[in-house]
Structure formats: structure tokens, C-alpha cells
Amino acid sequence: MSDNRLGTAVSPYLRQHAANPVDWREWGPDAFAEARERDVPVLVSVGYATCHWCHVMARESFSDPEIGGLLRRDFVAVKVDREERPDVDASLMAAASAFTQQLGWPLTVFATPEGRVFFAGTYYPPVPVGQVGSFRQVLAAVLDAWRERRSEVDANATAIAAAIRQGAEADAAAQGGAASDQGEPRLPSVDAIHSVTGQLAAAEDTTYGGFGGAPKFPSAPLLEFLREVAADGDDDAAALLDRSLRAVRDTELTDADGGVFRYATKRDWSVPHYERMLYDNAGLLAVAEPGQARGIADFLRDTLRRDDGAFVAAQDSESTMDGQRVEGAWYRLPLDERGRFAPPPLDDQVLTGWNGLAIRGLVIAGARHGDAEMIALARGAADAIVAGHVRDGHVTVRSSTPRGASSAPPTIEDVGLLAEGLLELALVTGDVAFAQVARSLVDDGLAGRFAVDPVLAAAGTVTGEQPQTALRSGTVALAATAAVLAALTGDAGYREAAAVLVADRAHTGTERPLGHADALGVALTLQRPSREVVVVAPVDDPMRAAAVAARRPGTVVATVTGEQAAAWTAAGFELFAGRDLPGAAAYVCHDRVCGLPARSAADLAAQLAAGATG
């Protein structure tokens, strides 16, 4: 008889395991208190709803009544959705790295009742494969260690927790100490940032495109860094970006409907890992050429968009065809034949941060390519997230589904990515309300108002946000937004805070750009003199397009109507003060000191080219 507690979970991943014969618990103090009372180890299994190998392990092991009975008798079993709880996932991943460098999901972790990890791995098969033991063998070995070598288990767990704590303290010290004795933030030089292009060129797969061998990931933050450097005058970066985007666009990694898969298992971008994540597609929107961006936007609109305008997290790799659960088969059908079968299911979580990333990508692509529908999709998502996940200017919900809001605390990813998306939307649409929410979110983020998980806190294994290769960092997004707010408000404190947030990451990125490329892009912006371009004109005025085309590191572009300019001024955004001359006008400003207004697109283009201050 199972006491499985996941049937009422908000998370779709947890609910997928509600019928397992395993007595799963959700992550929290109660599960670890039970382990202390029974003096048994805790098995923590981490995955997400569209994870193929998570499904495989569920079918092979977690659906096995014998394994269910073993876990019920000798362990407390805990399920974690990494999309819902990135804080828990980051901590457990840090611990797991002590045992394997082949990290991924499902993540299989064994912890003491105090929450400290003493052994970890990823997917375990039902029978031994090579040097990898079966899941039953792993459970038996863990129990043997727990019962016969308990002091060794406790010592290992304590040492791993201490290493995690020391790493987190070092990260905090580096971030807090990123200013020199003179109080100036230590950022890498422009030349050092540009030199990273050479490193990336050396890592390029010149045969098939992209970077490295198999598996091949699109790595949207890396591609966006190349776009930033290209806009700063680096032709080699522009060529490398173009080749990389074509590799993603013209291979099996991009589906026939425009959506992009998470990665390819082969060096030539073939045999995709078929799940499709919101964050990959949203990130690529910010760099994609027009046709590629349009295809991704269509995928977001037609597949991941809810009726209220928000976007769900992902689409599964597997679908049911002819009564069988299979990976990839639906995607391999021609588009006109897919309607005969149910599509792969969705991870129906609406994640605040990922929607912020989608809002940003849609706005950047819509403005760059003159696509009003993309901007409308961004506004729809922004309205839905602000209405459902934000209260009084503060993010209160990280994740929600049709079953309600998750109790998982919002993270810096949610605050930073949403703030950045909302401010991008405000600058393009002229709607100051989005900018006001963004400013409030940035203030929250800079104040460090984030809940700390009690289990991780008690174990001393809180890691904070970790660098990622596929998803723009919330910390970096917070810094980028703060830098823009400095230009809009005249508050230099925002720019100083931005530099402190990214300085250490950017220095690391000059040597190891993978995982830190987004910080390099913000550092480049902060190393350039601030330039602001404000267009006060009707929505169809050609000066708007000319201004958008001028976007590069260090340049903030805002397009508003006359009435909107007054609203921005009233809301405390000083850049817009006095920009209320009769008729359409555009202003090119340097550190908020503006030249004579341009009255035509040609005049504006000339001022931008000359760097005129008037």
C-alpha cells in the first residue's frame, strides 16, 4: 500500500510520479524530520516533466513494486522538480560533482537526515551496464555504507557540505569585493572582452558549425555575446555568429514548425534530444535572423502559449503513438501528418523567470525585425505574469500551473529575468507601467530579498545562483537592467551595482566564456560611455526604426509618444524630462546630455553616425 503524497502537487513532474509504488515526499523539512525519526537515509530524485531519461528511469525502476517496497522500508524518498526548485537542484548538483562529472537529470542523490549529501549519480539502469551498477545495486551499497560505515558516511557528508559552503562564501566575497580600493568596480577591459572571440573561434567546429563535439547545444547566451561584440565593431564575431546561427537553423536541431530542440546528440547536429524548452527558444530569439526568429515565435505562439498569454515551460520529447510511448517519433513526421496523433505533452508550469526571458526575446526580435506580432505576444505574456505572479511590484510566485501557485520561493532568476523583459517591453512600447514594475524588481534584487530554503540552510549547502550555459543568468539580467535604469533615471548607484554584480563573473568569462558569456556582454556595455537615444514620435514614424538599428553595447534606445514621455517623466525617469517639443523628435544623448533634436530618420541617422552631442 503506497502513501505517495504527490497526487496534489502543483508540479507536473511530481504528479507524473503520483502513481508510483514509491512513497514519494515533496522536498521540505517534514521529509528530513521523518528520516531523522526513523534513522534512515534520504533518496532525492531530481528531474523535470519533459526529461526523457527521467521517464525511462521512472518506467524501469520507480514503477517496480519491489523497488518501491525497498525504498519504503529503508529510505525516505523525495521527488524534486528542478524547474520548480532551482535552488535545491543547484545545491544537489554541486554535491553530486564530488562523485561524477557526468552531471544531468535524473539526478539521484543520497543524503543524511541533516540534508547533507554523501553519494550521488544520475540515471541508473535496471541491470548493470559496463561499469555502471544497477539501481538495486546502488541502493544496496548505500544501505551497506549507512549501516556498516556510518562514521565514514557522516564524515563524507560533512566534508562535501563544507566544500559547498566554502565555495558559496568565496563567490559572495568575490561579488561583494568586486570594487577596488578606490571604490571603482574591476571590470575586464574592452580589449580583453573582445579577445574572447578568438577563443571561441578556436573552439568552433569548422566542419559542422557550433562549438566542440557531441553533444551540440545552441548555447543562446554565448551567441548573444557574439552579437554584442559584433555590434561593437568586431567583424570576426559577426561572421562566427552567422555561421553558428545557420548551423542551428539549417540542421535537425530546428523542427519543421520553427521550434528548436534542446540539443543534438551528434556532432553534425543530427539526432536531436527532442524536448523543446522555453528558455532555449526565448534566448535564441534575441539573436536570430528574421526568418529564424519568426519560426521560433510561431512555435511559442502555437505550442507553448496559454490562453492568458503566458508561456509554459517545455514540450516533451516523448509522445504516445499507436499505444506506445516513444521518443522523437512525432517530431519525425511531416507537419501535415502530425495531426493524426496527439502531440507530445507540455510541462504546463508557468515560470516567472523563463517568461521574462521570452518577453525580452520577443521584444528584441520584434523591434529589430519590425514584427508587431512578436511585441504583442510579449505584452500578452507580461500582462499575464504581472497579474498572476507579481504583487505590489514584487515577485511573489515563481511557478504556477492550472492547479494553483507553487510554494517554491522566487529566485534571482525570476526577479532578474522578469525585470529585464519588462524594461525591454517598456522601452519599445512606451508603456511606463512595465518600467515601474521593473524598477521595483531591481530594487528587490539588489536588496537581496530572497527566501532561503530551510533544509539547505540547516545543512549549510546554500549555493546561490550557479553559472549556466543554456539560460541567461538572473544575476546578469539584474545587472543589465540596473545599468539601463541608471541611464533612464540618472541614478549612478544602479550602474555601480551592475558593475559589482558582473565583475567577478566577467573576469572568469575572459578565460572560460562558456557559462559566463552573458556577464561579458554586460561588462562590455558598462565599459562603453553611456549613450541614450530617445524618440518621441507616433508609432509609425521611421525615426523609431533608425533608433532601434543603433542599439549596441552602451546604448539605451527608448521609443515613446509625447503623452508617454510625460508619464515617464512623472514616474521619475529623468531622461524624458523636457522631451515634449511639438511634433516628432529624436534625441541623441551622452550620459543624459542631449544634442539638438532630430526631426527625420535621415537627420537621426547622421547624428548617430557622427556621435553628435549638439
Q: Cα–Cα distance between 409 and 348 in angstroms, integer?
A: 18
The pLDDT of residue 493 is above 90: yes
| Each residue's pLDDT tens digit, 308-362 | 999 999 999 999 998 899 999 999 999 999 999 999 999 999 999 999 999 999 9
| Cis upstream peptide for 215 (omega within 30°) | yes
Shortest CA distance to 75 belongs to which of 123, 139, 26? Answer: 139
Phi, psi of 593 (to 5 degrees): -100, 115
| Each residue's pLDDT tens digit, 49-103 | 999 999 999 999 999 999 999 999 999 999 999 999 999 999 999 999 999 888 8
pLDDT at 121: 95
Q: Cα–Cα distance between 61 and 229 in angstroms, integer?
A: 48
- Read off the DSSP letter of residue 60: I
DSSP assignment string, 334-360: -HHHHTTSPPPPEE--EEHHHHHHHHH
Give the angle 444-448-452 at the CA atoms, nearest 5°.
120
What is the percentage of the chain residues whose pLDDT exceeds 70? 97
Element containing residue 245 per DSSP (H, E): helix 235-249
| Each residue's pLDDT tens digit, 120-167 | 999 999 998 888 889 999 999 999 999 999 999 999 999 999 999 988
The pLDDT of residue 568 is above 70: yes
Q: What angle in degrees, to the nearest 10, is found between the helix axes of 150-176 and 135-148?
A: 100
Q: Cα–Cα distance between 426 and 409 in angstroms, integer?
A: 26
* Cell reading at 149: 560505515
**What does the chain come to in residues?**
614
Phi, psi of 121 (to 5 degrees): -160, -160
For residues 435 and 382, the answer to whether their CB atoms sit within 8 Å is: no
- Average pLDDT in the chain: 94
For residues 21 and 68, the answer to whether their CB atoms sit within 8 Å is: yes
pLDDT at 185: 67
| Each residue's pLDDT tens digit, 9-63 | 999 999 999 999 999 999 999 999 999 999 999 999 999 999 999 999 999 999 9
Using only C-alpha atoms, the chain has a radius of gyration, in whole angstroms, of 25
In single-letter form, the type of residue at position 46 comes to V
Task: Quickly state the pLDDT bin for 598 (edges 50, 70, 90).
Answer: very high
pLDDT at 614: 37
Task: Quickly state the pLDDT bin for 176 (edges 50, 70, 90).
Answer: low
What is the percentage of the chain residues whose pLDDT exceeds 90? 89
Shortest CA distance to 88 belongs to which of 23, 11, 140, 144? Answer: 11
pLDDT at 581: 78
Give the mean pLDDT of 378-395.
Answer: 98
Sign of CA dihedral 535, 540, 381, 320: negative
Give the mean pLDDT of 434-452.
Answer: 95
Give the mean pLDDT of 179-193.
Answer: 75
Shortest CA distance to 245 belongs to which of 279, 196, 283? Answer: 283
| Each residue's pLDDT tens digit, 274-304 | 999 999 999 999 999 999 999 999 999 999 9
| Cis upstream peptide for 113 (omega within 30°) | no
| H-state helical runs in 397-473 | 412-429, 432-447, 454-459
Q: Cα–Cα distance between 259 and 253 in angstroms, integer?
A: 9
For residues 318 and 327, the answer to whether their CB atoms sit within 8 Å is: yes
**Is beta strand 276-277 parallel, antiparallel or unpaired with respect to 314-315?**
antiparallel
pLDDT at 179: 41
Q: Please tell me the pTM assigned to this model.
A: 0.96
Q: Cα–Cα distance between 193 and 507 in angstroms, integer?
A: 9
The pLDDT of residue 114 is above 70: yes
Q: Cα–Cα distance between 513 and 237 in angstroms, integer?
A: 14
| Each residue's pLDDT tens digit, 456-482 | 999 999 998 888 889 999 999 999 999
For residues 272 and 328, the answer to whether their CB atoms sit within 8 Å is: yes
Sign of CA dihedral 108, 138, 126, 20: negative
Q: Cα–Cα distance between 210 and 284 in angstroms, integer?
A: 14
Task: Quickly state the pLDDT bin for 180 (edges 50, 70, 90).
Answer: very low
Q: Count CB atoms within 10 A of the CB of residue 181.
A: 5
The pLDDT of residue 109 is above 80: yes
The pLDDT of residue 175 is above 70: no
Shortest CA distance to 241 belongs to which of 225, 255, 262, 254? Answer: 225
Residue with cell 503506497: 2
pLDDT at 351: 98
In single-letter form, the type of residue at position 82 comes to R
Residues 6+ positions from 373 with CB-CB distance below 8 Å: 297, 301, 366
Q: Cα–Cα distance between 363 and 343 in angstroms, integer?
A: 28
* Cell reading at 545: 526604426
Shortest CA distance to 580 belongs to which of 567, 590, 589, 591? Answer: 567
pLDDT at 183: 58
Which of the pair, 581 or 497, is modelled with greater confidence?
497
